[in-house]
Amino acid sequence: MRIDRKRLESTIEELGRIGATERGGLTRLALTDEDRRGRDLLVGWMRQAGLRVTVDQMGNIFGERAGQPGRPPVMMGSHADSVPTGGKYDGQLGVLCALETIRTLNDHRVQTRHPVTVVVFTNEEGARFQPAMIASGVMAGKIPLEDAYNARDKDGLRLVDELERIGYLGPEPCVPRPLRAYLELHIEQGPYLEEEGLAVGVVEGIVAIAWSRLTIHGVQDHAGPTPMRIRHDALVAAAEVISGVRGIARQIGGELVTTVGSVTVSPNIPNAIPGRVTLSIDMRDPRDATLDKARWLLDGVVAEACRREGVTYELDHYWRVPYTPFDREVVSAVERAARATGAGHRRILSGAGHDAQYMAAIGPAGMVFVPSRGGRSHCEEEFTPMDDIEHGANTLLGAALELAGQP
Ligand SMILES: [Zn+2]
């Protein structure tokens, strides 16, 4: 049994037109009018496929294909929101391959023991409402519903009001539900599969992530009359921290990645010595122990940089997610399915967070990766060749069928 490549390709194109940008990308932020149009299209397709469609309190959409009564479903899906000027593969490819899997089961009139369900998660990207993965987080009981409802976008609009406005504030409770398994196909968003000429990644887990926030207090002063010898420049200390953070990854090596992605300078004008700088530090590694070591080195880098410039600081290690291993049975099922498609594949780790991370707290979860051209994502250049998508979708189909079982 194989998925219908032409049909899958046409759904990717059709959904990709909603919120399409001129340069071939996608802007479909969560709970905007574009998101509503995308959701409406998906719900229509689910109904055509004979699925029972329900929407929960967080706007997550479920389309269930019946199995034997009383059995928990094999759930497959991802998200349909994007970042601004993002791509049309991140998220929606997982939803559409799940839909294609169900359409293929329908084509072949396959009965399954467990129901097979497509899920579309709300606001995965965190581009409009923070935090990211908010709706699967609520479902897993990790984020209180009230907190999620009160999340506001940059215009002050509340998530719950926007859910209601686009007609996706559903009645179903957003709580952990019994699961046979959760499967998510997603683009890799890194370069490894493409570099190695492989079509499918069998994802073993999601790396541990540590976020820190550093605020440096220098002395704001005039850029002209203040001699160099009496300056306490918060931005100069920050610059040393930024290269020091890169140095931590160089020193530890392995798979550790470190990033300073956000810097706020005050007063941020040409003729004043910066008095205050706030910056973010993101560190990721598969091993929690490595992150502990990186954090310890970071404390030293910051202390040293600030001492040299004579500035004070606060360093807040405020968010930490441990390594999330996926379920061994699910990972094996994905691997067997990948092998059966004949696609080149290997085991891989995810460096990015996904809804599957929260779903792994509810039940057995796993992921299928397909390559990202040039390793690029969250940009209009995001692209995955159709040959690889076909292998990925067939892997998803095979794994779902094995886990759902046949009577
Ligand atoms: Zn995604």
Q: How far is the CA of 191 from the centre of ligand 1 (A)?
A: 16
* Residue 146: partners with Cβ closer than 8 Å, 6 or more residues away: none
**Longest pairwise C-alpha distance within the chain:** 83
Q: How far is the CA of 287 from the centre of ligand 1 (A)?
A: 23
Q: How far is the CA of 407 from the centre of ligand 1 (A)?
A: 34
Q: What's the CA gap between 118 and 104, in Å, rounded? A: 13
At 326-337, the pLDDT tens digits run 999 999 999 999
* Residue 14: partners with Cβ closer than 8 Å, 6 or more residues away: 41
Q: How far is the CA of 21 from the centre of ligand 1 (A)?
A: 18
CA distances from 195 to 188, 198, 263, 282 (A): 12, 8, 32, 25
Task: Please give all residues whose CB falls under 5 A of ion ligand 1, grouped by chain where several chains appear.
Answer: 90-91
pLDDT at 212 over 90: yes
Q: How far is the CA of 297 from the centre of ligand 1 (A)?
A: 31
Report the percent of the chain where pLDDT is more than 90: 99
At 348-362, the pLDDT tens digits run 999 999 999 999 999
Q: How far is the CA of 350 from the centre of ligand 1 (A)?
A: 11
Q: How far is the CA of 226 from the centre of ligand 1 (A)?
A: 49
Q: How far is the CA of 132 from the centre of ligand 1 (A)?
A: 10
At 221-263, the pLDDT tens digits run 999 999 999 999 999 999 999 999 999 999 999 999 999 999 9
Q: How far is the CA of 133 from the centre of ligand 1 (A)?
A: 9
Q: How far is the CA of 296 from the centre of ligand 1 (A)?
A: 31
Q: What's the CA gap between 72 and 114, in Å, rounded? A: 6
Cα 134 from chain centroid (whole Å): 11
Q: How far is the CA of 340 from the centre of ligand 1 (A)?
A: 26
List of E strands, 35-191: 52-55, 61-65, 74-79, 116-121, 181-187
Q: How far is the CA of 404 from the centre of ligand 1 (A)?
A: 25
Residue 254 burial by Cβ neighbours in a 10 Å radius (0-12, 13-18, 19+): exposed
At 124-170, the pLDDT tens digits run 999 999 999 999 999 999 999 999 999 999 999 999 999 999 999 99
Helix (H, G, I), strand (E, B) or coil at 77: strand
Q: How far is the CA of 194 from the centre of ligand 1 (A)?
A: 18
Q: What is the pLDDT of residue 321?
A: 86
| DSSP at 180 | S
Q: How far is the CA of 366 from the centre of ligand 1 (A)?
A: 14
Q: How far is the CA of 316 from the centre of ligand 1 (A)?
A: 27
**Average pLDDT score over residue span 195-218:** 97
Q: How far is the CA of 250 from the centre of ligand 1 (A)?
A: 28
The residue written with tokens 């939803």 in the block is 95
* Residue 339: partners with Cβ closer than 8 Å, 6 or more residues away: 345
Q: How far is the CA of 402 from the centre of ligand 1 (A)?
A: 25
Report the percent of the chain where pLDDT is more than 70: 100
* Residue 362: partners with Cβ closer than 8 Å, 6 or more residues away: 139, 140, 176, 177, 179, 182
At 255-288, the pLDDT tens digits run 999 999 999 999 999 999 999 999 999 999 999 9
Mean model confidence pLDDT for the chain = 97
**Average pLDDT score over residue span 297-316:** 98
Q: What is the pLDDT of residue 248?
A: 98
Q: What's the CA gap between 157 and 112, in Å, rounded? A: 43
Q: How far is the CA of 232 from the centre of ligand 1 (A)?
A: 42
- Tell me how crowded residue 319 is: count the other CB atoms within 10 A of its CB: 12
Q: How far is the CA of 196 from the centre of ligand 1 (A)?
A: 22
